[in-house]
Amino acid sequence: MDETADVVVIGAGVQGASLAFHLARRGARVTVVERSAVAAGATGRSSGFVRMHYDLEAESRLAWASLPYFREWAERVGDGSCDFVRTGFVQLVPPEMADRLRANVAMHRRIGIETSVVGPDDVARLIPDVVTDDIVAAAYEPQSGYADPTATASGFLAAARRRGARYLAGTRARVVVEGDRVAGADTDRGRIAAPVVVDAAGAWAAEVAATVGVEVPVESWRHDTAFFGLPAGRDHRFPIVIDQATEVYFRPEGRDLMLVGLEAGNVVGGSPDRPQEPLSPQNLDAMVDGVCARLPWMAAGTLRTAHGGQDGITPDQHAILGPAGPEGFYLDCGHSGTGFKTAPAVGLALTELILDGAATTVDISPFSLDRFAEGRPLTSDHPYGPLWR
């Protein structure tokens, strides 16, 4: 098989699928090359949060521009469903970070996000029987919720294919360069000639970039999540919560489960091809301790299942987006475990950059690869510190 395309996208996670959709919607001929299957990497193990609260304005803008796609999927994408569930979102921080939270909420409101600072009494109304002794201020986003990551990626890809995109599953690729510009990709099915190749390969992004001599500071990052059965009589109607004081996050899953993740205990480095390890007893205990410290009634919950996932993580835990190395080579990687909720806008912004020469929906220039070599990692004016520890 030898073929031609305008753009080759390497990776069929939610980022690659969103990019393929936006490119195909603009009339570009797109081929998506995936080493395994759609959403088989980080996307399929994502917790699926759809929220706008970040301490970095550029990320909040991407999440805000992405929200309409989740809420208006049928109108904007049309294929499949992202299964968005509106629950609201609550951000909890330790008391010493209350002023930072207030400043970040003010920044979000300037962007246009519907959000507010709430106190412990409000949190108690939003979350049943929650411990609020250590809460000074929290952030609340009523429009936020969660979606199905695999369905989202599959829907984007189906919509791209309906518009003419090609999808090659179970196919590995390396980028081909002629002179100082990209010429396409060599795959185990043949060459795809194309002037543009985008590296959206998740935990394998550094491996792909190395084929054109580009070094990207992306390492594999592994993270565990677990599903707990809600105790008898407990309602599933509560918001998604990120609780930096107890280092856990949680959300409802269906009508009788709670998804719980741990901000600490992450594993960075090593081959992305190594087998996934089962949830360790230490991490399980930390999850249980953290969620029960905030919700004592979850002590009567039951562990149902757990799984690990991986993504590519960067030193500042923010994505790398834009051109790098030879002309025609672009990066869409290093999303560091938080890329699901921004994928619709990232795909749109990169499409604008590739086809028009500039991203106009959201300025993605802060996410350039150059920031690492130039010693200017992305930081916010009112940081909470690294999410993953």
Residues 145-201 have pLDDT tens digits of 999 999 999 999 999 999 999 999 999 999 999 999 999 999 999 999 999 999 999
What does the angle CA 77 – CA 363 – CA 243 come to, to the nearest 5 degrees?
75
- Residues 25 and 37 sit within 8 Å (Cβ to Cβ): no
Give the chain's end-to-end CA distance (angstroms, integer). Answer: 45
Cα–Cα distance, 32 to 347 (Å, whole number):
13
Distance of CA 135 to the CA centre of its chain: 27
| pLDDT tens-place string over residues 6-61 | 999 999 999 999 999 999 999 999 999 999 999 999 999 999 999 999 999 999 99
Is the predicted pLDDT of residue 65 greater than 90, yes or no? yes
What is the band of 1 on the pLDDT scale with cuts at 50, 70, 90? low
How far apart are alpha carbons 90 and 162 in whole angstroms?
37
Instruction: Give the model's pLDDT for residue 389.
Output: 87
Who's near 210: CB < 8 A, 6+ residues apart?
none
Helix axes 149-162, 14-25, angle to 10 degrees: 30
pTM of the predicted model as reported, rounded to 2 decimal places:
0.98
For residues 305-313, give the mean pLDDT: 95
The second-level CATH assignment, the architecture, of 89-142+225-309 is: 2-Layer Sandwich (3.30)
- As a whole-number percent, the residues of the chain with pLDDT over 90 amount to 99
Pairing of strands 30-33, 166-168: parallel
Mean per-residue pLDDT, 66-93 = 98
Question: Residue 222's pLDDT is what?
Answer: 96
**243, containing H or E segment:** strand 240-243
Superfamily of domain 3-47+149-218+316-373: FAD/NAD(P)-binding domain (3.50.50.60)
Domain boundaries along the sequence of the chain = 3-47+149-218+316-373, 89-142+225-309
Predicted confidence at residue 103, as pLDDT, reads 98
Task: Indicate if 89-142+225-309 has the same CATH topology as 3-47+149-218+316-373.
Answer: no
What's the rounded mean pLDDT across residues 286-306? Answer: 98
Query: What is the overall mean pLDDT for the chain?
Result: 97
Q: Return the pLDDT at 312.
A: 98
Residue 2 has pLDDT above 90, yes or no: no
Nearest of 290, 218, 220 to residue 45 by alpha carbon: 220
The C-alpha atoms of residue 344 and residue 46 are separated, in whole angstroms, by 15
